[in-house]
């Protein structure tokens, strides 16, 4: 007998990704990797965290159980930040989560019954699909700006035996595409969700990492402006300190209407009682003292790396390859000529040129997008980026001759 015979049906949708496994194999020191999606650890504000942690540890509270909603001074700071972003709110509208990944899981749990529809980008953040999969939804394609009619979405959801429950979007410098939703697209998603009667899950993990271009209001801010009060809003904003201060401390937040917060609090209570107290206290102190100058510093480093990658792509990629020009974040998304496969390219790139990236099909709910790849620019210096893209250019040219 194998225990796997008696796993719940939901676990059948939770599979190890082939790509993740392959990428673990390529985590060798001689490989230039554009695969991860992680900040450069050399930029972590170590001294600020040493100080903040030592200070927090003078209070026994730092090691004690605390409230599920989160550390009150951190919630207060976040309510102020959300107000600056155009979302006037109070601590009742803020829940601290263990990274924004936990927020996605809790929101999947809150909204999705088996066969309900989640609208997602095509492609979208792989980790969101992973979080939602456990709740056995059906996915439908969201194309901000050119969406199908609400009736069409509703009819297909009903035919599949459920309802449209959420529209999930990585809004700023999207993981994986690097693309940012325009103001019009944000308004259109809002109008569509109003017609569908569904929640909007606004994933703002990269929001603070804008290098250039015009800052845009969150969808939640547009909705508050339209409806007058966060309490009347269907948008649930998920933020994170992972891309700015530290991913390892696992601190994120949800900002939403207070009844939603109260319900998610019950789920979080059942899951992990609360996020680590010491981590929240340290994040609060570092954020209050250093957030803006620290973020300005990492943005200048990442912007130079993005520029280096874009220049290297211009120089080394053959005609027929296209890529996005992100205004921030950590990713560039490239589309290879039709017929070329990102996964095949990865194998050759690793074996022959010691360079890695993520094949784009991993980010599509239906596994399409074979000829796309995601390139991360935050975790390698400019010279390494130039070298890595030159190597990648060679492999692409070589494959082009063969296809
Ligand atoms: C779009 C997006 N959302 C959410 C997350 C989860 O981040 P965390 O749980 O560290 O906040 C990530 C991490 O890569 C991401 O790219």
Atom number in ligand 1 closest to CA 100: 11
**pLDDT on residue 401:** 82
pLDDT tens-digit series, residues 257-293: 999 999 999 999 999 999 999 999 999 999 999 999 9
Q: Nearest C-alpha to atom 14 of ligand 1 is from which residue?
A: 37
Reported confidence tier of residue 29, pLDDT bands at 50, 70, 90 = confident
* Rounded-to-integer distance, Cα 255 and Cα 212, Å: 25
**pLDDT on residue 180:** 97
Atom number in ligand 1 closest to CA 241: 11
What would the mean pLDDT of 10-28 be, rounded to a whole number?
A: 73
What would the mean pLDDT of 45-49 be, rounded to a whole number?
A: 98
247 lines ligand 1 (CB under 6 A): yes
170 lines ligand 1 (CB under 6 A): yes
* Rounded-to-integer distance, Cα 47 and Cα 239, Å: 24
Q: Nearest C-alpha to atom 6 of ligand 1 is from which residue?
A: 101
**pLDDT on residue 39:** 95
**pLDDT on residue 18:** 63
246 lines ligand 1 (CB under 6 A): no
Cis bond before residue 176 (omega within 30° of 0): yes
Q: Is the pLDDT score of 402 beyond 80?
A: no
**pLDDT on residue 88:** 98
| Cβ-based neighbour number of residue 108 at 10 Å | 25
Q: Is the pLDDT score of 22 beyond 90?
A: no
pTM here?
0.96
**pLDDT on residue 403:** 64
What would the mean pLDDT of 81-108 be, rounded to a whole number?
A: 98
Which stretch of 12-21, 123-132, 270-279, 345-354 has the lowest confidence by average pLDDT? 12-21
Is the model more confident about 25 or about 123? 123
Distance of CA 116 to the CA centre of its chain: 22
Q: Is the pLDDT score of 19 beyond 70?
A: no
H-state helical runs in 208-351 = 219-227, 258-272, 277-316, 342-348
**pLDDT on residue 162:** 97
Q: Is the pLDDT score of 369 beyond 70?
A: yes
Q: Is the pLDDT score of 50 beyond 90?
A: yes
Give me the residues paired with residue 121 across strands: 142
Reported confidence tier of residue 173, pLDDT bands at 50, 70, 90 = very high
Are 320 and 400 within 8 A, CB to CB?
yes
| Cβ-based neighbour number of residue 121 at 10 Å | 26
pLDDT tens-digit series, residues 148-172: 899 999 999 999 999 999 999 999 9
H or E element, residue 83:
helix 72-84
- Interval between CA 101 and ligand 1 midpoint (Å): 6
Strand order in the sheet with 372-376: 322-323, 331-335, 372-376, 358-359
- Interval between CA 237 and ligand 1 midpoint (Å): 13
- Interval between CA 338 and ligand 1 midpoint (Å): 30
* Rounded-to-integer distance, Cα 260 and Cα 254, Å: 10
Are 129 and 139 within 8 A, CB to CB?
yes
What would the mean pLDDT of 231-248 be, rounded to a whole number?
A: 98
Q: Between β-strands 331-335 and 355-356, what pairing exists: parallel, antiparallel or unpaired?
A: unpaired
Mean pLDDT for the chain overall: 95
Residue with tokens 């400019």: 382
pLDDT tens-digit series, residues 177-206: 999 999 999 999 999 999 999 999 999 999
pLDDT tens-digit series, residues 308-363: 999 999 999 999 999 999 999 999 999 999 999 999 999 999 999 999 999 999 99
Contacts of 312 (CB under 8 A, 6+ apart): 385, 386, 388, 389, 390, 393
**pLDDT on residue 86:** 98
What would the mean pLDDT of 241-252 be, rounded to a whole number?
A: 98
Kindly state the percentage of the chain with pLDDT values over 70: 98
Reported confidence tier of residue 139, pLDDT bands at 50, 70, 90 = very high
101 lines ligand 1 (CB under 6 A): yes
324 lines ligand 1 (CB under 6 A): no
């Amino acid at each position: 007998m194998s225990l796997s015979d008696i796993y719940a049906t939901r676990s059948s949708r939770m599979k190890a990704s082939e790509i993740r496994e392959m990428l673990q194999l390529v985590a060798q020191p001689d490989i230039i990797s554009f695969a991860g999606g992680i900040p450069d650890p050399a930029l972590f504000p170590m001294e600020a965290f040493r100080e903040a942690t030592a200070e927090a540890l003078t209070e026994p509270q730092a090691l004690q159980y605390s409230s599920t909603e989160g550390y009150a001074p951190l919630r207060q700071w976040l309510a102020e930040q959300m107000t600056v972003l155009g979302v006037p709110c109070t601590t009742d509208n803020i829940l601290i989560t263990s990274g924004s990944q936990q927020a996605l899981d809790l929101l999947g749990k809150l909204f999705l019954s088996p066969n309900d529809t989640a609208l997602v980008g095509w492609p979208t953040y792989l980790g969101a699909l992973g979080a939602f999969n456990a709740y056995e939804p059906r996915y439908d394609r969201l194309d901000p700006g050119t969406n199908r009619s609400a009736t069409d979405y509703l009819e297909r959801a009903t035919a599949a035996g459920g309802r449209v429950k959420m529209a999930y979007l990585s809004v700023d410098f999207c993981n994986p595409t690097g693309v940012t939703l325009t103001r019009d697209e944000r308004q259109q998603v809002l109008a569509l969700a109003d017609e569908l009667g569904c929640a909007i899950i606004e994933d703002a993990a990269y929001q603070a990492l804008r290098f250039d271009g015009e800052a845009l209001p969150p969808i939640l801010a547009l909705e508050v402006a339209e409806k007058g009060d966060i309490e009347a809003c269907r948008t649930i904003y998920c933020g994170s300190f992972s891309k700015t201060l530290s991913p390892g401390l696992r601190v994120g937040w949800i900002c939403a209407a207070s009844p939603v917060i109260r319900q998610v609090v019950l789920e979080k209570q059942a899951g992990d009682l609360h996020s680590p107290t010491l981590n929240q206290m340290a994040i609060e102190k570092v954020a209050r003292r250093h957030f803006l100058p620290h973020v300005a510093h990492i943005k200048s480093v990442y912007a130079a790396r993005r520029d280096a990658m874009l220049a290297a792509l211009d120089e080394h990629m053959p005609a027929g390859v296209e890529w996005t020009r992100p205004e921030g974040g950590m990713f560039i998304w490239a589309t290879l000529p039709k017929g070329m496969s990102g996964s095949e390219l990865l194998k050759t790139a690793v074996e022959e040129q010691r360079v890695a990236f993520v094949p784009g099909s991993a980010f599509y709910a239906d596994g399409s997008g074979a000829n796309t790849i995601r390139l991360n620019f935050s975790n390698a210096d400019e010279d390494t980026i130039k070298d890595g893209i030159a190597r990648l250019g060679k492999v692409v040219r070589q494959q082009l001759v063969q296809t």
